[in-house]
Chains A and B, each alone.
Chain A
Amino acid sequence: MMTRRRRLLASLTGLVGFLALWELTLRAGLLPGALVPLPSAIPAVLVAEINDGIWQTMVFSSFQHYGIGLLIGSSLGILVGVCAALLPTFNALHAWLARLLRPIPPLAWIPFAIIWFGITPTAAAFIISIGVFWINYFASYSAVEAIDPGYDEVAAAFGQVRLFPRLFKITLPAAAPGILGGLRAGLGQGWMTVVAAELFGITGIGQRMMEASSLLATDVVVVYMLTIAGLYALIDALFVSIQRYLLRWQP
């Protein structure tokens, strides 16, 4: 068994080794310098972007698209997913529609997003919400579907038979682990679509990356790639701590 400290050390060695290898191959002239930036040059570029105020603007703007898209996609996904699992008629009504729409990737909605909303933050939020919706929809549907029917008997034996008491005392808490799992997957999926949704000109990280790449400023591209990675790690860590608190009843 590896101790925790040794594992941490190994992971760190892997990362530093990768960066060192990257730096050395470039300096040795084994890779053309115009295509890949020097890792050691990245921090200076980040500082420059922050000093120019570009970094803050882009991150703030992307965060807005992300936040709104996530909020709408997650809440609708959970609502429709839970209803589909609880109400057989609703389930039958929408089953084929869901099967039809599900395979369409979020990015395929870009033409409609532009036609309906123009090149606006709303369009970006709309595209983000689509991917997030499906993840949460399927996660909550299967979470509710998988609830032990024994709990329904408990509800019936102890007078909690009406829809709302049962929903809040049995169904939602029982399905919470699955629903929270869907939310977490949506957090990642959201960031993936943010960049793509902004590539066609809506202010944000994606637009800035597109701009930089057309000027062959690969160092700027890498700065924003790392920005996304950092923001995602932060949000995911925050979410996991909330999730742990909500599910503290689990063994």
Chain B
Amino acid sequence: MNHHAQPVLRAHGLAVGFDNQSVLTDVTFDLPAQSLIAVVGPSGVGKSTLLRALAGLLPPLAGTVDRPPDSDPGTRPWSMVFQSPRLLPWRRVRTNVELGLEGLALSREERRQRAERYLEQVALADYADRWPHSLSGGQQQRVGLARALAVQPKVLFMDEPFSALDAITRRRLQQALVDLRRQTPAAIVFVTHDIEEAAVLSDRIIVLGDHPQGGPAHVRAQQAVELPLEARRDHSGFRPLIQEIEALIRTGPRASTAYSEHQANDTAGRFSRPYG
């Protein structure tokens, strides 16, 4: 991957939240072209909200986002894969993939060809005429991925796309995404609560967490991942990397080692009391 290219997305001093109440502040990073940045953190830290602010679906409370311009006809600058696939159940698989292409300068035939090409990329070419409800969860999510790739985005936002799937399917789709990255020029922001998933897929991990002094969450650390993408799980540097990220998430006043030991004792006490 070319890390020195001009970034396709820049966030500067971004704060997000609801009703003027920040849940997450001071997010600054660059997304280099063709790279994948994973955003990890505990649930409720504002990962999904951050992703929507980056995409422009939600206005940020502070800071700026530079998104790629809408310059190439026949493409869209960005697209998104959601946690639940959110296919339109009243459309067949092919026309679901065509959704983002409608309104672009493409003929009906071009739309159809484009949809079929990306269905092939996610290995679902034979399912083009099926209704979404007849597909498994993993297949539906692959259609969601094809729909997002079909607009040939410069930036692809992925919001915990594999978290609702079973472990085997999740592994398969992670591998499918690793393979896909060789064929697509899109840069990806990938939100997940799964540290291992972040380590398998990304070039860089942004760790979100509570602020030591309380208040809204912030970026705890940014960790570059320099392992080769192929068979990363088997690499000798993989386990140490995970331990490092886990340590980054654990450090801080609320989740210190002492705190978790205390919590463990407390839990044990609570469970033993009624039976003791």
Using a CB–CB distance below 8 Å, which chain A residues touch chain B? Answer: 150-151, 153-154, 156-160, 165, 169-170, 173-174, 176, 248-251
Q: Are A249 and B99 in contact (CB under 8 A)?
A: no
Q: Are B55 and A157 in contact (CB under 8 A)?
A: yes
Binds A, one of B19-27, B83-91, B169-177, B254-262: B83-91
Q: Compute how far the CA of A122 lies from the CA of B147 in the bound complex, rounded to whole angstroms.
A: 51
Q: Are A151 and B57 in contact (CB under 8 A)?
A: no
Q: Are A169 and B89 in contact (CB under 8 A)?
A: no
Q: A150-B86, A159-B104, A251-B133 are in contact. List 4 more A-B contacts (CB 8 A).
A: A151-B88, A157-B100, A158-B99, A165-B103
Closest residue to B84 on the A side, CB-wise? A150
Interface centre among A150, A154, A169, A251 (most CB of B within 10 A): A154
Q: Are B103 and A160 in contact (CB under 8 A)?
A: yes
A-B contact pairs, 28 of them (CB 8 A): A150-B84, A150-B86, A151-B86, A153-B80, A153-B86, A154-B82, A154-B86, A157-B100, A158-B99, A158-B100, A158-B147, A158-B151, A159-B100, A159-B102, A159-B103, A160-B102, A165-B102, A165-B103, A169-B99, A170-B88, A173-B90, A173-B91, A248-B131, A249-B91, A249-B131, A249-B132, A249-B133, A250-B133
**Inside 8 A of A249's CB, which chain B residues have their CB?**
89-92, 131-133
Q: Are B82 and A150 in contact (CB under 8 A)?
A: yes
A-B pairs, top 5 by smallest CB distance, nearest first, are A158-B100, A251-B133, A173-B90, A157-B80, A249-B90
**Inside 8 A of B89's CB, which chain A residues have their CB?**
249-250
Question: B94 contacts the other chain (Cβ, under 8 Å)?
Answer: no
**Inside 8 A of B154's CB, which chain A residues have their CB?**
none
Q: Are A159 and B76 in contact (CB under 8 A)?
A: yes
A245 to chain B, nearest CB (A): 12
Question: B79 contacts the other chain (Cβ, under 8 Å)?
Answer: yes
Closest residue to B147 on the A side, CB-wise? A158
**Inside 8 A of B99's CB, which chain A residues have their CB?**
154, 158, 160, 169
**Inside 8 A of B131's CB, which chain A residues have their CB?**
248-249
B271 to chain A, nearest CB (A): 38
Closest residue to A153 on the B side, CB-wise? B57
**Inside 8 A of B147's CB, which chain A residues have their CB?**
158
A161 to chain B, nearest CB (A): 9
A178 to chain B, nearest CB (A): 13
Q: Compute how far the CA of A250 lies from the CA of B86 in the bound complex, rounded to whole angstroms.
A: 15
Q: Compute how far the CA of A176 lies from the CA of B88 in the bound complex, rounded to whole angstroms.
A: 13
Closest residue to B89 on the A side, CB-wise? A249
Q: Compute how far the CA of A165 lies from the CA of B88 in the bound complex, rounded to whole angstroms.
A: 14
A175 to chain B, nearest CB (A): 11
**Inside 8 A of B82's CB, which chain A residues have their CB?**
150, 153-154
Q: Compute how far the CA of A157 lies from the CA of B99 in the bound complex, rounded to whole angstroms.
A: 10
**Inside 8 A of B84's CB, which chain A residues have their CB?**
150
Closest residue to B134 on the A side, CB-wise? A251
Closest residue to A173 on the B side, CB-wise? B90
Q: Are B86 and A169 in contact (CB under 8 A)?
A: no
Closest residue to A154 on the B side, CB-wise? B86
Q: Compute how far the CA of A150 lies from the CA of B89 in the bound complex, rounded to whole angstroms.
A: 13
Q: Compute how far the CA of A3 lies from the CA of B90 in the bound complex, rounded to whole angstroms.
A: 33
Q: Compute how far the CA of A248 lies from the CA of B130 in the bound complex, rounded to whole angstroms.
A: 11
B18 to chain A, nearest CB (A): 14
Closest residue to A170 on the B side, CB-wise? B88
**Inside 8 A of B100's CB, which chain A residues have their CB?**
157-159
